[in-house]
Amino acid sequence: MLEEDMEVAIKVVVVGNGAVGKSSMIQRYCKGIFTKDYKKTIGVDFLERQIQVNDEDVRLMLWDTAGQEEFDAITKAYYRGAQACVLVFSTTDRESFKAIPTWKEKVVTEVGDIPTVLVQNKIDLLDDSCIKKILRIFQRKSKITFELLLYSCEEAEALAKKLKLRFYRASVKEDLNVTEVFKYLADKYLQRLKQQTAEDPELVHTSSNKIGVFNTAGGSHSNQNSSTLNGGDVINLRPNKQRTKKNRSPFSNCSIL
Ligand code: GDP
Ligand code: MG
């Protein structure tokens, strides 16, 4: 059991090509809203939401980008200390699906093997696109459209199997499966945390543990227990057991904005 009056904080990165719905997903989960045109608030790096998982208080910090992914320009600071990851692609954008293995590699390179899920977003558009594609196949027997159809229906599951990831079909717009994605990640993270603590009870007390790098340079909330080594590339922070005193404020449930 984790200590009383402490909570676990998890930095979650949400990655994938531009326009797949990453910012929308973060907004939906933390603020309960969906807008067609989400503009990132300058100076805000993440939104947060507090949940309970198996009687444990967990604070999820969902880190957003300001569109740098379109230029392949996500900084190391974005990934640094991430403890869980959502890989997102869109039902209507095949390129975003093809890019998933590369995104996963980037995350693994930066932060190692962390709890990760694969999400196919915008499934509210699936029926429509599937039906249209089937019609087109019958009309033209086009190889390309056939490929697209397969991607919609089967390929994503195959990729998830190959990458050994839990796979969710979601619609941020319809609020379908968004909560489940983050609940799964929090659960998975807690399981690992308990396992690590059982194997090494000292872990939580060790301040020089590199496993638990967390929430560092560049963040609007980057000043907690941080120190910079080697010109900023390696940061020693709190250990993996991210504990903070519970914030009892009524405003603590949601959002940094
Ligand atoms: P990001 O670049 O990955 O952060 O993508 P955004 O969150 O900015 O979303 C890109 C566009 O997709 C916006 O117009 C969103 O309203 C739209 N969008 C996001 N999620 C969904 C969804 O589940 N269904 C539909 N139909 N549109 C979505
Ligand atoms: Mg965005």
pLDDT, one tens digit per residue, over 202-224 is 765 433 333 333 433 333 333 33
Among 23, 29, 172, 175, residue to substitute to test ligand 1 (most atoms within 8 Å of Cβ) = 172
Q: What is the DSSP string of 145-203?
A: HHHHHHIIIIIHHHHHHHTT-EEEE-BTTTTBSHHHHHHHHHHHHHHHHHHHHHH-TTG
Q: What atom of ligand 1 comes closest to residue 20's alpha carbon?
A: 3
The model's confidence at residue 127, banded by pLDDT at 50, 70 and 90, is low
Backbone φ and ψ of 248, nearest 5°? -90, 5
Q: Is the pLDDT of residue 196 over 80?
A: yes
Higher-pLDDT residue of 24 and 218 is 24
Digit-coded pLDDT (tens) for 235-251: 333 434 444 444 443 33
pLDDT of residue 73: 78
DSSP 245: E
pLDDT confidence tier of residue 185, bands split at 50, 70 and 90: very high
| Whether the predicted pLDDT of 232 surpasses 50 | no
pLDDT of residue 138: 59
Instruction: For ligand 1, say whether the CB of 171 is within 6 Å of any of its atoms.
Output: yes
CA dihedral of residues 112, 87, 154, 145 (deg, nearest 10)? -130
Decide if pLDDT at 108 tops 80: yes
Q: How far is the CA of 21 from the centre of ligand 1 (A)?
A: 4
Least trusted range by pLDDT, from 7-16, 87-96, 123-132: 123-132
The strand pair at 84-90 and 116-121 is best described as parallel
Question: Could you tell me the CA-to-CA distances from 73 to 106, 118, 180, 197 in Å, in that order?
Answer: 12, 21, 29, 35
Q: What pLDDT does 132 receive?
A: 60
User: What average pLDDT does the segment 170-174 reach?
Assistant: 96
Q: What percent of the chain has pLDDT over 70?
A: 63
> Mean pLDDT across the stretch 100-119?
97
The closest residue, in CA terms, to atom 16 on ligand 1 is 36
| Residues, Cβ < 5 Å to ion ligand 2 | 23
Q: What is the pLDDT of residue 230?
A: 29
% the chain with pLDDT above 90: 47
Interval between CA 149 and ligand 2 midpoint (Å) = 26
Q: What is the mean pLDDT of the chain?
A: 75
Q: Ligand 1: which atom is nearest the Cα of residue 121?
A: 23
Ligand with the closest atom to the CA of 169? 1
The atom of ligand 1 lying closest to the CA of 125 is: 26
Residue in 24, 89, 129 to alter for ligand 1 test, most ligand atoms within 8 A of Cβ: 24
The pLDDT tens digits of the residues spanning 66-105 come to: 778 877 778 888 999 999 999 999 998 999 999 999 999 9
pLDDT on residue 201: 73
Instruction: Report the nearest atom of ligand 1 relative to the CA of 35.
Output: 16
Q: What confidence score (pLDDT) does residue 205 get? A: 45
